[in-house]
């Protein structure tokens, strides 16, 4: 799985397009794996990464755990 922590580094990376290409390929492969059963892989990937980034940014506050709980519940709703 491509590391969520690397996403902002990839956006700023100016040294090589190869790093971005490999990262984008990893994101695409992971989304395909997540979508193996129902085509919602990209949406699940965005939910997971977004929740992780927001929870890290609010670490130590009550909203941090609320973000993770809400994402977990959204991702597991309907047997996912």
Q: Whole-model pTM? A: 0.62
Q: Tens place of pLDDT for every residue, the chain, 80 residues?
A: 556 666 666 666 655 778 778 878 888 887 777 777 666 777 888 888 889 888 888 989 999 999 999 999 998 885 44
Token pair belonging to 51: 């929740």
Alpha-carbon distance of 4 to 80, in angstroms, equals 21
Question: 21: number of CA atoms within 13 Å, CB side?
Answer: 4
pLDDT value of position 79 = 45
Burial class (CB in 10 A: 0-12, 13-18, 19+), 28: middle
pLDDT at site 46: 84
What pLDDT score was predicted for residue 38?
67
């Amino acid at each position: 799985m491509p590391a969520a922590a690397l996403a902002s580094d990839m956006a700023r990376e100016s040294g090589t397009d190869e790093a971005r290409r490999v990262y984008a390929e990893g994101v695409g492969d992971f989304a395909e794996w997540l979508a193996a059963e129902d085509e919602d892989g990209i949406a699940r990937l965005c939910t997971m990464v977004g929740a992780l980034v927001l929870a890290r940014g609010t670490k130590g506050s009550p909203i941090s755990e609320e973000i993770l709980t809400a994402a977990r519940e959204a991702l597991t709703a309907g047997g996912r």
